[in-house]
Structure 1
Amino acid sequence: MNNVIRPSFRQARAEVNEVRRFYGETRTYRVGLVACPAEPYGATLKVVMGASDGEDLEAVAVVLDGPGAEAEADRIGVAVLRALQKAER
């Protein structure tokens, strides 16, 4: 899947020290939330995931920041984490 163009094409990936919080992790993945105030189309919140033993995180969902955005991103983050937990069973 290296040939898939991601929404963050040509942008740096989120670093671990930029993560606002982690929702949790499974045996192989962790899921967190990153606030990105300087996006070209406005501030965003990104739900990110990456390998538990690595530092690379990639956005799996992007929510425009505004009223209720953090609650929506939290719901998405928890849903992604729960899906990964179910898949690893």
Structure 2
Amino acid sequence: MGVVADEIETRLRAALQPTDLSIIDDSDSHRGHAGHSGAGESHFTVVLTAAAFAGQSRVARQRLVYAALGDLIAPDRVHALVIKASAPAA
């Protein structure tokens, strides 16, 4: 993982204490598209499971992830983020 992916992991673990977390750098799949600078680490998918998501709507879960990532979500940092957030199975 690169520097940005490491920072995503650090922030999500600190804020949401996920039981499962996967961070996928999709940047190469977006070569030539808007927001791809050629430097990489601009497009990500995060898949996470956290108790903080229990009882939350999909939109509320996404807001929690965006709040945890803060200033990383900016055109010059992370251009695109796919979020697959779920609560642990009961």
**How high is the TM-score relative to the length of structure 1?**
0.30
Bigger strand fraction? 1
Greater relative CO, 1 or 2 (CA 8 Å, sep 6+): 2
**How high is the TM-score relative to the length of structure 2?**
0.29
